[in-house]
Homo-oligomer: A and B are copies of this chain.
Amino acid sequence: MKINQHYLDLQSSYLFSNIREKVAAFKKKHPQEKVISLGIGDVTRPIPGIIADAMRKASAEMTHKETFRGYGEDQGYAFLRSAIARYYGTKGVSLNEDEVFVSDGAKSDMGNLSDILSEENSVLIPDPVYPVYVDTNIMAGREILYANGTLENHFLPLPDKDIKADIIYLCSPNNPTGAVYDKAQLKLWVEYALENDALILFDAAYESFVQDDTLPTSIFQIEGAKQCAIEVSSFSKTAGFTGIRCGYTVVPHALVLNGTQVYKLWLRRQTTKFNGVSYIVQRGAEAVFTPEGYRQCKANIAYYLENAKIIQKALQKAGIWYVGGENSPYIWMKCPKNMKSWAYFDSLLAQAKVVVTPGAGFGVNGEGFCRLSAFGEREDVRIAVEGILKSAK
C-alpha cells in the first residue's frame, strides 16, 4: 500500500494561517485596538431575497410525494443549464446546454479537470496566482512552468514561443492581482494554444466584476477558443454563493483532444465521481438569472466596486503603483518604500491596525506586492485606506 507520493512534494500553505497567527498575536498584545482587514477573500453582502425564496420553495417541494426529487440530471438540471446558456448568449457566445456542466464550485472543477488529462502533460501557470492551480498539479506529479506576471507587463503575462506547455491556466479577472486580459491579449493565448496543441483552462470566477464592455468576460468570446479551451465559472462572487456552493464548467463540443471529444470524458468523470449539485441550490442559482435576482446581484457587485474605487483613489493620492479594482474586487499594490510583502504586512498591522494579504504568498513574483480586497464594509475600507496613506509617507 502506497500513498500518492506527490502529496509529499506539496508545500504547506502558510499564507492565511500566518496572517491569522500574526493578527491574533497583535490582538492579544493590544486588546483595545480594532483591526480592520483588507485581506478578505470572501463575499460579505447577503444574497438577494429572491434567491433565498427559490431555495425555500425547493426545500418545501422535497416534503411532498408529488414534488419530491431524488437524483437529478447528470450535468445539472436543464432549467439551470439553459439559463446559463442564455447568459452566455448575452455575451455573444452561443452554447448548447449540453456543453454546460453544473458543479459545486469553480475550485472543485479546476482541480478535478486534472483527472481527464495525462500526467505527462506539462502545465503553464501564471505567477502570481491562486495557489490551487499549482497544488493540484503537484498532486498529479506534472512538470510546472510559470508565466511571469511583473510590474512591466501589468501582471498579465503573454505567451512565450520558446516555452512549450500542454495545459495553460488563465484567470481573468485575476486572483490575486485584479488584472484583466483584453481581447487582443487573450487572442494571443488562444493562438498559442491552437498552434501548440495545448489546452487552456480558463477561470472566469470573477467575470461579473468586469464593467468595461470592451473586455472579455469569457474566453469563448475569442475566435477559436472553443477548439482549445474549457471555462470554469461560479456563482460564488457573482451572487454571494461562497457558502451556498454552485458553479459551472463549459466544455464545448468542438473541443477534441487526441481524437476524443473532451465533453464526453468530462461527462464520464462527473457521472462516475460526482452526483450533482443539490436541487435546492440549483433552484437558487436559477433565480440569479431572474431580472430581480440579477439586479440585486449587480447592486452587491457595485457596492464592492465602490469600495475598490475608494482604495484606488487613496493609492493614486499616495503615488503607489497598483493594478486592478476597476473590473475586479482585488487591487494589487506595490508595497511602499520597496518593502517586502511580509515586512509591509507587519508594519501596516503595527502602525495602522490594517491587514492586507502579502503578495509573496501567491508566488515568487508576488514579492514586494500586496493584495487588497474590496469585500468589506464601506466604513472599514475608508478607515483602512487612511492607514495605507500614512504608511506611504
Q: A3-B265, A62-B244, A107-B275 are in contact. List 10 more A-B contacts (CB 8 A).
A: A1-B166, A1-B198, A3-B260, A3-B262, A5-B118, A42-B71, A52-B63, A111-B272, A115-B139, A244-B280
Which of A43-51, A86-94, A329-337 lies at the interface?
A43-51
> Would you give 18 A-B contacts (Cβ < 8 Å), ordered by A?
A1-B117, A1-B121, A1-B199, A2-B120, A3-B258, A4-B265, A43-B70, A44-B65, A44-B70, A46-B68, A47-B62, A49-B63, A55-B56, A62-B244, A104-B275, A105-B275, A243-B279, A278-B278
Q: Which residues of B contact A277 (CB under 8 A)?
A: 104, 245
Interface: A274 (CB within 8 A): yes
**Is A273 a contact of B1 with CB atoms below 8 Å?**
no
Interface centre among A10, A118, A132, A279, by most B CB within 10 Å?
A: A118
Q: Which residues of B contact A111 (CB under 8 A)?
A: 272-274
**Is A45 a contact of B63 with CB atoms below 8 Å?**
no
The CA of A121 and the CA of B5, in the complex, are separated in Å by 12
- CB A59 to nearest CB in B, in angstroms, measures 4
Q: Which residue of B lies closest to A228 (CB)?
A: B1
Q: Which residues of B contact A275 (CB under 8 A)?
A: 104-105, 107-108, 242, 245
- CB A280 to nearest CB in B, in angstroms, measures 6
Q: Which residues of B contact A240 (CB under 8 A)?
A: 62, 68, 70
**Is B279 a contact of A1 with CB atoms below 8 Å?**
no
How many residues of chain A get a CB closer than 8 Å to chain B's CBs? 77
Q: Which of B47, B118, B276, B278 is A2 in contact with, Cβ under 8 Å?
A: B118
8 Å CB interface, A239-294 against B: 240, 242-245, 257-258, 260, 262, 265, 268-269, 272-281, 284
**Is B62 a contact of A45 with CB atoms below 8 Å?**
no
Give the number of times this chain occurs in the complex, counting copies: 2
8 Å CB interface, A120-155 against B: 120-121, 132, 135-136, 139
**Is B268 a contact of A4 with CB atoms below 8 Å?**
no
